[in-house]
């Protein structure tokens, strides 16, 4: 039985990983981008939420799968060697009105069986978080919160899927779902028709369009909601130990200030509803930056100066009607499954969503899911120079001399890591791009944002691919370097 999954984000790849555990399933993931995880999966806050912010009466499925996902990620990050931390989070309040709102989540935690959630004040708050703002009156502490590297998570899921026999087709836009009679026949794509017995729609902000093409849920419309972020230099003096965020509103879980798994200070997101036609607009704004800096003052005892901002970025997340996830199996057309409108806490819930979908397939379509004895749960990352001692570096270099050549000085990334990233990109069938290497190695994430290392990485890729340097792509057919030879000839 062939199962086609539309969308190689964290949800689609999690579903693919779980389904690859079972016998007799041919798993194909179709992705419009050149690489995996280039939608909302790479532009988010990276939080693994505890589940105390999901009302089990209003959103029972979200609440249940969030709590389950938090537990599953603890297993998955070990199996897939994904950078992760579990520092807990503090929902900060700065006045009595915010306090009243925040304290409601202690009861929500109890109803969702989320352990250890309680209010903290005064000296205890400042012991838990030395970087806390003097504006903070108190906070709701949720000790089971964590954060992961979302870029490495999607890469790890993709590698593990391919290792277990799944396939990923990149640069392949799904135009529509083809229906024959009362059942799906497959998907029409920019690369031709792909036959399928089951089609799973996990297309992020474009999932409503896919659903409509299958003739279902015609009233289901996804609202694009933009979230902007600020990243500060990793040498910033004030970085929180915990995951800090302001008291949630009707639009958002709040603005976060966190230290990423890579050691950066990240602040965000905003929450701005966008026109429907701007689903792919990831531009940033001065208004967004100003708002985030103001909100950061509620969280941190000192907001770093603007001169230490290394990058701003934005992601567009899919906001479904009334905030309800659409996870549904259809009898007509038989074989079509929606996993659409997966707004926050989608990253957290992704593993649990995957098992939920597998169970739906088994029950609704009477598919016997028998576990493979040869399924491989483990994937290993590759050694990194960053943070290693001199002795550890000497050991790496003795095994592979390419670890002795530093390509990115901001993040201490070696040529060996660049080469390994390129190899892994090719292994999953993705297109080798500068951004693909950046997300897997962190080369270009530092203070100079690639000003020093980008051309060197392009040179390595060009040599491996048999191309000119200016032919190496950053992302989405955008080139990172001009044709230097041509410019010299023309005197431009």
Active site residues: 49
Q: Kindly state the DSSP code that residue 263 receives in the 8-state scheme.
A: S
Answer whether 454's CB lies under 8 Å from 470's CB: no
| Exposed/middle/buried for residue 27 (C-beta within 10 Å: 0-12, 13-18, 19+) | buried
Distance CA 255, CA 474 (A): 30
SS3 content of the chain, % helix, strand, coil (to 5): 35, 25, 40
**CA distances (Å), 234 to each of 245, 263, 315, in order?**
20, 6, 21
Contact residues for 470 (Cβ-Cβ < 8 A; gap 6+): 479, 481, 482, 483, 484
| Exposed/middle/buried for residue 74 (C-beta within 10 Å: 0-12, 13-18, 19+) | middle
* Tokens 């959630």 -> residue: 117
Contact residues for 76 (Cβ-Cβ < 8 A; gap 6+): 82, 351
Answer whether 238's CB lies under 8 Å from 301's CB: yes
Is residue 307 classed as helix, strand or coil in its secondary structure?
A: helix
Distance CA 31, CA 36 (A): 7
**CA distances (Å), 91 to each of 125, 200, 242, 315, 389, in order?**
11, 35, 10, 23, 36
Distance CA 445, CA 456 (A): 15
User: What is the signed CA dihedral for 94, 254, 311, 170, rounded to 10 degrees?
Assistant: 170
Backbone angles phi, psi at 258, to 5 degrees: -135, 160
Name the token pair of 223.
């609202």
As a whole number of angstroms, the longest Cα–Cα distance in the chain is 70
Answer whether 184's CB lies under 8 Å from 18's CB: no
């Amino acid at each position: 039985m062939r199962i086609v999954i539309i969308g190689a984000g964290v949800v689609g790849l999690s579903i693919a990983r779980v389904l690859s555990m079972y016998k007799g399933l041919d798993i194909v993931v179709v992705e419009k981008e050149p690489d995996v995880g280039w939608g909302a999966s790479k532009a988010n806050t990276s939080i693994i939420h505890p589940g105390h912010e999901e009302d089990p009466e209003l959103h029972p499925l979200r609440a249940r799968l969030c709590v389950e996902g938090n537990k599953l990620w603890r297993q998955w990050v070990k199996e897939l060697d994904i950078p992760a931390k579990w520092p807990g989070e503090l929902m900060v309040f700065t006045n009595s009105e915010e306090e009243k709102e925040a304290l409601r989540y202690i009861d929500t935690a109890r109803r969702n069986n989320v352990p250890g959630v309680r209010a903290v004040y005064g000296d205890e708050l400042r012991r838990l978080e030395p970087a806390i703002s003097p504006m903070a009156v108190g906070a709701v502490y949720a000790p089971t919160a964590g954060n992961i590297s979302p870029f490495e998570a999607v890469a790890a899921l993709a590698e593990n899927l391919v290792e277990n026999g799944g396939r990923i087709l990149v640069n392949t836009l799904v135009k529509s779902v083809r229906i024959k009679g009362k059942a799906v026949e497959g998907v029409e794509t920019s690369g031709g028709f792909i036959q399928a017995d089951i089609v799973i729609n996990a297309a992020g902000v474009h999932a409503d369009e896919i659903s409509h093409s299958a003739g279902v849920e015609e009233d289901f419309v996804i609202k694009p909601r933009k979230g902007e972020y600020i990243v500060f230099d990793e040498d910033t003096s004030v970085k929180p130990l915990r995951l800090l965020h302001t008291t949630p509103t009707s639009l958002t879980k709040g603005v976060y200030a966190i230290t990423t798994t890579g050691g950066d200070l990240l602040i965000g997101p905003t929450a701005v509803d966008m026109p429907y036609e701007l689903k792919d607009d990831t531009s940033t704004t001065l208004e967004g930056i100003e708002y985030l800096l103001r909100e950061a003052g509620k969280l941190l005892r000192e907001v770093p100066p603007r001169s230490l901002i290394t990058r701003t970025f934005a992601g567009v997340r899919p906001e479904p009607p009334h905030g309800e996830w659409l996870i549904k199996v259809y009898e007509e057309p038989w074989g079509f499954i929606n996993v659409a409108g997966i707004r926050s806490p989608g990253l957290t819930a992704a593993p649990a969503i995957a098992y939920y979908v597998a169970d739906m397939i088994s029950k609704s379509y009477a598919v016997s899911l028998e576990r493979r004895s040869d399924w491989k749960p483990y994937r290993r990352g590759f050694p990194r120079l960053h943070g290693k001692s001199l002795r550890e570096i000497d050991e790496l270099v003795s095994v592979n001399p390419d670890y002795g050549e530093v390509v990115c000085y901001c993040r201490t990334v070696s040529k060996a890591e660049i080469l390994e990233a390129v190899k892994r990109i090719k292994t999953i069938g993705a297109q080798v791009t500068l951004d693909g290497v950046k997300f897997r190695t962190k080369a270009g994430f530092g203070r100079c944002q690639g000003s020093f290392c980008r051309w060197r990485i392009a040179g390595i890729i060009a040599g491996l691919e048999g191309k000119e340097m200016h032919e190496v792509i950053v992302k989405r057919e955008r080139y990172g370097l001009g044709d230097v030879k041509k410019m010299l000839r023309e005197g431009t």
